[in-house]
A = this chain, B = another copy of it.
């Protein structure tokens, strides 16, 4: 996790800011100082500061909005923080790992609240606690199939990240929809995968993102252990 000394100034500043974020000094949703403030604080040029912020943004730690500023989107126990809600762990300090269950090409197999069919690139992921090995969440992502995806079936995702893989192919979400509800009872197969009792109620989160043309980019269904996850939003 923590790196040895970074060589370049921009990397050093990035890891310094990252430390502040991860330590909780800068909480989720709070604003970073403006680029000009950081310029004077670190006594470097704005170019360097921007490079640092770029590094943090790519890691998903911050999000920057034109004309407003940069904002923390990670607070130690916040797993995923998009526009609107953020998915938060109920208790902090949980270490976890992610396992990719499969990358495959198949027809649409999930129930979606809006019309979405055809061939899909399917990526199923399991998130589990490092200590106990107990499953925390099950995520099934579906992306409308493209010929260029063929290589992924063997080579895997770019850097293990589906988002980066999609972004590298020009698939960037511009808008989207999201549904959250309670799945009263976990099915047998999923229960086995997660290592949870079969009848456990789960928090189900479904998100459909679209590109600027309104075409579907990605559909993700997440089944989340309700004891560990909650949704949070500020307004």
Interface residues of A (CB under 8 A from B): 1-8, 12, 15-16, 19, 29-31, 33-34, 37, 65, 67-69, 71, 82-85, 90, 175-182, 184, 201-203, 226-227, 229-235
Contacts and interface: CB of A to CB of B under 8 A. Distances in A.
A231 B180 contact: yes
A128 to B, nearest CB: 19
Which of A67, A181, A231 has the most CB atoms of chain B within a 10 A radius of its CB? A181
A184 B203 CA distance: 10
Contacts of A230: 179-181
A178 B235 contact: yes
Contact of A180 (B16, B31, B68, B180): B180
Contact of A226 (B6, B177, B181): B181
Given A2-B34, A181-B229, A12 B235 contact: yes
A232 B181 CA distance: 9
A232 B15 CA distance: 15
A151 B19 CA distance: 45
Copies in the complex: 2
B2 A235 contact: no
Nearest to A183: B226
A224 to B, nearest CB: 9
Contacts of A177: 232-235
A5 B67 CA distance: 12
B176 A235 contact: yes
Contacts of A15: 235
Q: Select the residue from A37, A90, A233, A235 with max chain B CB neighbours within 10 A.
A: A235
Which of A2, A33, A71, A229: most chain B Cβ within 10 A?
Answer: A2
A7 B68 CA distance: 8
Contacts of A33: 1-2
B233 A2 contact: no
A233 B178 contact: yes
**What are the 3 A-B residue pairs with the smallest beta carbon separation, nearest first?**
A182-B226, A201-B201, A181-B230
A234 B182 contact: no
